[in-house]
């Protein structure tokens, strides 16, 4: 069992985001450890936290072993990674499926970067990728002070990195291409073509199934 407190800033923010996403589904939810990486999957979302060693600051990378965990939050708001018991072969298969699902969505093209204070994230992301994310989902990006946007065929990946970690958050089914006759989409297209300021309604107010 591994306990993570708010002092472990980046990992805590990642797990807090994952916990909120897990709260939206009734399906079984696990996180998968693979040495210095921690992966997660939920319907519509997935991602990975990669811990990095910092020699100058004498900080070792996390070791998440090669285990399947359940994510739990304690009353004091700390998180616990609790190793899943049961059939070892079944757990290893589930862990492998999660890792493979996420890794398959990592090698996609970079399109832009932005920071958390940018107030028109939804419009900007739509204009550069052709995909929309929901008002609720844009709130998950608050865990990134600054992030890169990567555009996949039917998903989006958001990535941030500091001296100790690299985090990728991937929206799959939740990143959609709107209908061609959608009036809001027409406004986005007008913005792209004319480079006009996005309409006010798009302002940000800040905040393959591996389990099958």
pLDDT digits (tens, 9 = 90+) for 132-143: 888 888 888 888
Structural domain containing residue 70: 2-116+129-177
Q: How many degrees, rounded to 5, is the angle at CA 15 between CA 11 and CA 17?
A: 120
Task: Please state the domain count of the chain.
Answer: 1
Note the pLDDT tens digit of each residue in 138-192. 888 888 888 888 888 888 999 988 777 889 999 987 666 665 555 555 455 555 5
What global pTM score does this model have? Answer: 0.79
Quickly tell me which residue has 């028109």 as its tokens.
120
Assigned domain for 196 exists: no
In a domain, 50, yes or no: yes
Domain at 40, CATH number:
3.10.150
In-domain check, residue 207: no
Model confidence pLDDT, tens digit, residues 87-128: 888 889 999 999 999 999 887 788 888 887 887 888 888 888
In a domain, 76, yes or no: yes
The closest of 67, 120, 72, 118 to 96, measured between CA atoms, is 67
Q: Please tell me which residue, 180 or 77, carries the higher pLDDT value.
A: 77
What is residue 173's predicted lDDT score, i.e. its pLDDT? 75
């Amino acid at each position: 069992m591994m306990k993570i407190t708010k002092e472990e800033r980046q990992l805590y923010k990642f797990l807090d985001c994952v916990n909120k996403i897990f709260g939206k589904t009734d399906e079984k939810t696990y996180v998968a450890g693979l040495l210095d990486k921690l992966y997660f999957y939920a319907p519509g979302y997935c991602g990975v936290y990669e811990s990095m060693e910092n020699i100058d600051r004498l900080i070792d990378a996390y070791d998440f072993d090669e285990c399947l965990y359940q994510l739990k939050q304690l009353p004091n708001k700390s998180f616990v990674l609790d190793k899943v018991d049961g059939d070892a072969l079944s757990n290893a298969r589930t862990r492998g499926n999660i890792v493979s699902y996420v890794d398959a969505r990592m090698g996609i093209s970079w399109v832009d970067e932005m920071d958390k204070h940018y107030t028109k994230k939804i419009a900007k992301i739509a204009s550069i990728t052709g995909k929309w994310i929901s008002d609720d989902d844009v709130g998950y990006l608050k865990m990134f002070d600054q992030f890169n946007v990567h555009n996949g065929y039917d998903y989006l990946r958001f990535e941030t990195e500091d001296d100790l970690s690299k985090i990728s958050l991937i929206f799959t089914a939740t990143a959609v291409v709107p209908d061609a006759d959608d009036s809001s989409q027409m406004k986005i297209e007008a913005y792209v073509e004319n480079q006009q300021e996005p309409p006010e309604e798009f302002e940000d107010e800040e905040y393959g199934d591996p389990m099958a």
